[in-house]
Amino acid sequence: MQKKSSPTDVAELELALEKSRQVPGFRTLLAFFWGLILAKCLFAQWAFTVYNLPINPGFYVWTLSLVGSGAISLVYAYWLFRELPTMPLSGRIASATWVGCGVGFALLALVAGVYQAFSIYLLPALAAVLLGVGYFIHSVAQRRNLFKFVAIGWWLAALGLFTQPNINSLAWMALSLLLFQAAPAGWLFFTRNRQN
């Protein structure tokens, strides 16, 4: 005969399941950080190009920003791969989703930049579509309705970005990163720290 679970056992199980769905603070801080860095780089690239400023944005904007940010991300990747075997299924699904979206975007950037199969200014719109997919799957895996709204925001941004296949897509993508990446990640990180 199967033993019935007590209300305390059920409450502890629900608490353990809820904790397994929470994204660690370091990851939300990293998402917030990358949203700000990429928004700054895209906006600077747009401004230097539109106003024809005699500064090399490839070095002074992108290289300097991405080298420092990349070092921080390597630390994150190290911890992520150490946690992966013990990570709950929802965390592994979310991590795999983001890796898949990142690889997909890298391939699209390669096709646009090297093979020139389509305008490089369509990359922000394609990135917005992939970010919407990533956030939507993440919302289901982690049971966070906030990410569903963020996904819808990215898909609406993609619709607008497809109408701007020119230099202005960089400025619009920068704004989208602030609204749909940095703001939600910052809100999650700072509200969690306030509760602890």
Print pLDDT tens along the chain (196 aa).
455 666 665 555 554 555 544 555 567 888 899 999 999 999 999 999 999 988 888 888 899 888 888 887 888 777 767 776 777 888 788 888 998 999 999 999 999 989 999 999 999 999 999 999 999 999 998 888 999 999 999 999 999 999 999 999 999 999 999 999 999 999 988 887 666 5
Which pLDDT score, from 0 to 100, does residue 128 have? 98
- 3-class DSSP assignment, residue 115: coil
- Contact call for residues 125 and 155 (beta carbons, < 8 A): no
Residue 100 is which amino acid?
G
Q: How far is CA 4 from CA 10, 12, 14, in A?
A: 10, 15, 16
What is the enclosing helix (H) or strand (E) of 62?
none
In a domain, residue 191? The reply is: no
Q: Which residue range forms the structural domain that includes residue 174?
A: 24-185
3-state secondary structure of 117: coil
Q: Which tokens belong to 8?
A: 């305390």
pLDDT recorded at residue 10: 54
Q: What is the biggest distance separating any 2 CA atoms in the chain, rounded to whole angstroms?
A: 80
Q: How far is CA 126 from the centre of its chain?
A: 14
Structural domain includes residue 155: yes
Long-range contacts of 169-173 (CB under 8 A, 24+ apart): 169/121, 169/122, 169/123, 169/124, 169/125, 170/42, 170/43, 170/45, 170/46, 170/49, 170/121, 170/124, 171/42, 171/43, 171/46, 172/124, 173/42, 173/124, 173/127, 173/128
Residue 19 lies inside a defined structural domain of this protein:
no
- Asked, for residue 5, whether it belongs to a domain, the answer is no
The answer to whether 173 and 124 have CB atoms below 8 angstroms apart is yes
Phi, psi for 166 (deg, rounded to 5)? -145, -170
One-letter amino acid at 23 equals V
Q: Encoding tokens for residue 124?
A: 């922000």
Angle between helix axes 25-50 and 168-177 (nearest 10 degrees) is 160
Q: Does residue 2 lie in a domain region?
A: no
Instruction: Answer yes or no: is 161 within a domain.
Output: yes
Distances (CA, A) of 187 to 29, 33, 38, 108, 139: 10, 12, 18, 30, 16
Provide the number of structural domains found in the chain. Answer: 1
Secondary structure letter of residue 24 according to DSSP: P
